Structure 1
Amino acid sequence: MSSYLLPAIAGLLTGAGLIVAIGPQNVFVLRQGVARRHTGAIVAVCAISDVVLIVAGVAGLGAIVAAHPQVITVAKLLGGLYVLVLGLLAAKRCLRSNEAIAANAEEAESAGRWVAVGTALALTWLNPHVYLDTVLTMGAIANGHGNGKWAFAIGACVASILWFTALGGGARRLSHLFASPRAWKILDAVVAVIMIGMAVALFASI
């Protein structure tokens, strides 16, 4: 039993260390949680995507990706463009007047579930760091545990599920702090800086 417990704990800690880092995906979950828009669906998409990627990495997908570095290059280009657009949109929202924010509140609440889910999928699967961290790094570490590699994978999957659930649920509890347009401007400014910064970093690494 202990021979599997230690790899599982290692997977839990490694998964937490790689997933908790602030990035476009976490920022999107946070913003949607604060807005109370489709939080459950978005959390499910992010957590399930991570589980799929972790399992794929442990199963050997990491070796395939490492053998074809052009996959990472394409992901950096597409992901950088997408994140840049989201950052510019956040900057545009930040510059709106208070009246415009209030007037668009009802429209924002009615935003389609599939649009939000599609954005979460894009931020996950077009993010090259997902393949570098979740597939390559975690896959390599897991396989270093020999027969305990799947216990490591389970621990990492649990870390991802707990993190996104806590992030989405915690953000919903903060929604009362965003009753004023000024608070939304500050949040969108933070989102814009992180998204545009990530896009610049991705382009610079190509």
Structure 2
Amino acid sequence: MSSFQAPIALQGFVLGAGLIMAIGAQNAFVLRQGLKRAAPLLTALTCATCDAILIAAGLLGAGALVNAHPALANWAAGLGAAFLFWYGARSLRAALQPGQLQAAEGQGVVQWQKVIVTTLGFSLLNPHVYLDTVVLLGSIGSQFPAGAARVSFGFGAIMASFVWFFCLAYGAAKLAPLFAKPAAWRVLDVLIGLTMWGIAATLAARILA
């Protein structure tokens, strides 16, 4: 078996980063946790670990299983739409609440049980995550020969997820002074709420199509 192949790992890293960095519900949640300094380590670690498991599953052939059973995708889309609609409503309600919101007060999800459950919801109840990790990365990575080449691709894609989520969770703290103003939080909550509802509507339309 040949050794680790850095050029292929770089391909996996670049492709994984391009998919993971797209604006979506999961990234919006991680950003908010980082701004609130509310368990950013656990949030980022849970997101990245979920991606790692899904990418590995895709490379092992789970993408073909999902494609062979479209009913599974519809069930996942329904659950994801309901979850995102609920969280979007929660964010819009928060935007209407009076009072100053301070990033340093840690008003995000902080209890480790709730952090894990909520993060798992964003990571596993969104069919787009499966499309990006299991189907897309899995099918592309499967084009490489089994062994070191495929492992190298998977390693690069997984590293992209870890680097992105930890940078997002901890880099968000740099924006904390801006979000000391209540207006900034209201704008963010409205944008997050509308993003969640937009994705939920897309998922619902896909089911009804």
The TM tier, using the shorter chain, reads over 0.9
Deviations 1:52-83 (A, max 9, x none): 11011001111111111111111100000000
Which residue of structure 1 aligns with residue 136 of structure 2?
137
Of 13-22 and 3-12, more deviation after overlay is shown by 3-12
Which residue of structure 1 aligns with residue 197 of structure 2?
196
Whether contact under 8 Å (2:95, 2:189) holds in the other structure is yes
Which residue of structure 1 aligns with residue 42 of structure 2?
41
- Matched position secondary structure for 2:97: coil
1:54-133 superposed matches below 5 A = 54-98=55-99, 108=107, 111-133=110-132
Give the gaps of 5 or more residues in structure 2.
none
Residue type of the alignment partner of 2:114: V
Structure 1 residue 17, shift from structure 2 partner: 0.9
User: CA distance change for structure 1 residues 43 and 25 in 2, over 3 Å: closer, same or farther?
Assistant: same
Structure 1 residue 7, shift from structure 2 partner: 1.6
Partners of 2:41 and 2:169 lie apart in 1 by 8
Give the share of equivalent positions with the same residue, in percent.
Answer: 39
1:157 aligns with 2:158: yes
User: CA distance change for structure 1 residues 13 and 110 in 2, over 3 Å: closer, same or farther?
Assistant: closer
Whether contact under 8 Å (2:99, 2:182) holds in the other structure is yes
Task: Give the alignment's TM-score, normalised by structure 1.
Answer: 0.92
Structure 1 residue 144, shift from structure 2 partner: 0.8
User: CA distance change for structure 1 residues 111 and 13 in 2, over 3 Å: closer, same or farther?
Assistant: closer
Structure 1 residue 27, shift from structure 2 partner: 0.2
Whether contact under 8 Å (1:33, 1:169) holds in the other structure is yes
Structure 1 residue 200, shift from structure 2 partner: 0.6
Whether contact under 8 Å (1:98, 1:182) holds in the other structure is no
User: CA distance change for structure 1 residues 200 and 109 in 2, over 3 Å: closer, same or farther?
Assistant: closer
Of 167-176 and 22-31, more deviation after overlay is shown by 167-176
Following superposition, which runs of at least 4 residues in structure 1 exceed 4 angstroms of deviation?
none
User: CA distance change for structure 1 residues 107 and 159 in 2, over 3 Å: closer, same or farther?
Assistant: closer
Structure 1 residue 176, shift from structure 2 partner: 2.1
Which residue of structure 2 aligns with residue 52 of structure 1?
53
Whether contact under 8 Å (1:72, 1:131) holds in the other structure is no
Residue type of the alignment partner of 1:146: P
Task: Give the alignment's TM-score, normalised by structure 2.
Answer: 0.91
Structure 1 residue 5, shift from structure 2 partner: 2.3
Whether contact under 8 Å (1:54, 1:153) holds in the other structure is yes
Which residue of structure 1 aligns with residue 19 of structure 2?
18
Partners of 1:76 and 1:90 lie apart in 2 by 21
- Matched position secondary structure for 2:23: coil
Structure 1 residue 186, shift from structure 2 partner: 1.0
Structure 1 residue 124, shift from structure 2 partner: 0.5
Partners of 1:76 and 1:5 lie apart in 2 by 36
- Matched position secondary structure for 2:107: helix
Structure 1 residue 92, shift from structure 2 partner: 0.8
Residue type of the alignment partner of 2:153: F
User: CA distance change for structure 1 residues 130 and 109 in 2, over 3 Å: closer, same or farther?
Assistant: closer
- Matched position secondary structure for 1:14: helix
Which residue of structure 2 aligns with residue 169 of structure 1?
170
Partners of 1:112 and 1:169 lie apart in 2 by 18
- Matched position secondary structure for 1:98: coil
The structure carrying a bigger helix percent of its residues is: 1
Residue type of the alignment partner of 1:4: Q
Number of matched pairs: 203
